[in-house]
A and B are shown apart, each in its own frame.
Chain A
């Protein structure tokens, strides 16, 4: 759907969509942090062979 034909969102819908995007972004960030920390632990424990 092109931008021109996209239905306009109400402020509430826009806020809800933004909150959802924010939540997803936080979850992705947490997941990346978790993976990096896991790799760090493997390096500390001497178990790391190659980066995950």
Chain B
């Protein structure tokens, strides 16, 4: 009579403990995750299984006082179900946490890769400049002419190289199954006579790309005050914030994006416009500007990557602004204002 009573008390206590732990797991898992591990829950469930099994076995095969084992056996069954439930709950939460950790690790690796690539680009940019400086130093006489200094510090192609590097960086971030012919275009626009005018542009797949012809054909959409189909450069500058169009076609269907021509649907599929604030123009005046990157890979620029994209663009923006200022400073005709 004593043994069944003791076992009943133990199983009842385990049922109460199991219920409390289960409630705690459901309600405050993050706090308990360090204490209640899947392995511990599994061992505890096995121990309860063993005890409940023993009680059921004794209850089934006990010749005398069979009725004494009835209550412990039922309690054991309830306890068993409860601890199995607890084990499964903990297991599910641990698996979910693992999945989250893996996703976070993937994101961390992707982000660190992107930032490492950025460092490589900027090192290349400084190296190019250093090599050019050293070459010009050899040609220098007693005092360096402005032309020589300009050629060394701010050659025309240096800014283009920066923009081209930006296109290369984005191209490197394409998914593995994306076609290698995927194109990226980068345009630098600045305010001039009321319109956002392109001042530099590069096209990864087409070195002879001329952004100015497109601008001239749709100049009305680049007017800062326009309300009729404003370009995203204009919208970006007016809103003073980064604009991301994940899928231009889908946005156009939703009435949030305007193609200048049907032709554009083929190569303009995802777009990013970054507000640069003030830049220095060649004449020494300042003007608001924007960097616009587009690609023929739909869904490439994603709203979910906004912070990462803005980080990348901010780094490029700082260098682009420096190059433009150097360019203006070293112009042989000098600043007019």
Q: Which residues of A contact B (CB under 8 A)?
A: 15, 18-19, 22, 25-26, 28-30, 32-33, 35-37, 40, 44
Residues of A within 8 A of B331 (CB): none
B172 proximal to A (CB < 8 A): yes
Which residues from A are CB-within-8-Å of B121?
29, 33
The answer to whether residues A40 and B116 also contact, given A26-B168, A29-B121, A29-B165 and a CB cut-off of 8 A, is: yes
Q: What are 8 contact pairs spanning A and B, CB under 8 A?
A: A15-B208, A19-B208, A22-B164, A29-B121, A29-B165, A33-B120, A36-B117, A44-B112
B residues 207-259 touching A (CB-CB < 8 Å): 207-208
Cβ distance A50 to chain B, nearest Cβ, rounded Å: 17
Kindly identify which residue among A29, A40, A44 contacts B124, using a CB–CB cutoff of 8 Å: A29
Query: Would you call A37 and B207 a contact (CB within 8 A)?
Result: no
Closest to B112 in A: A40
On chain B, the residues within 8 Å of A15 by CB distance are 207-208
Interface size on B, residues (CB 8 A): 18
Interface residues of B (CB under 8 A from A): 109, 112-113, 116-117, 119-121, 123-124, 161, 164-165, 168-169, 172, 207-208
A-side contacts of B161, CB under 8 Å: 25
Q: Is the CB of B207 within 8 A of A33?
A: no
User: Is A18 in contact with B120, judged by CB distance below 8 angstroms?
Assistant: no
A19 neighbours in B (Cβ, 8 Å):
207-208
Residue among A18, A26, A29, A40 with most chain B CB within 10 A: A29
* A40 / chain B contacts, CB cutoff of 8 Å: 112-113, 116
| B119 CB to nearest chain A CB (Å) | 7
Q: Once bound together, how far apart are the Cα atoms of A3 and B170, in whole Å?
A: 38
CA A22 to CA B119, docked complex, whole Å? 20
Q: How far is the CB of B149 from chain A (nearest CB, A)?
A: 20
Residue contact B117 to A37, C-beta cutoff 8 Å: yes
| Complex Cα gap A26–B167 (Å) | 10
A13 → chain B closest CB, angstroms: 14
Q: From residue B147, how far is it (CB to closest CB) to chain A in Å?
A: 15
Select one of A25, A26, A37 contacting B116, CB under 8 A: A37
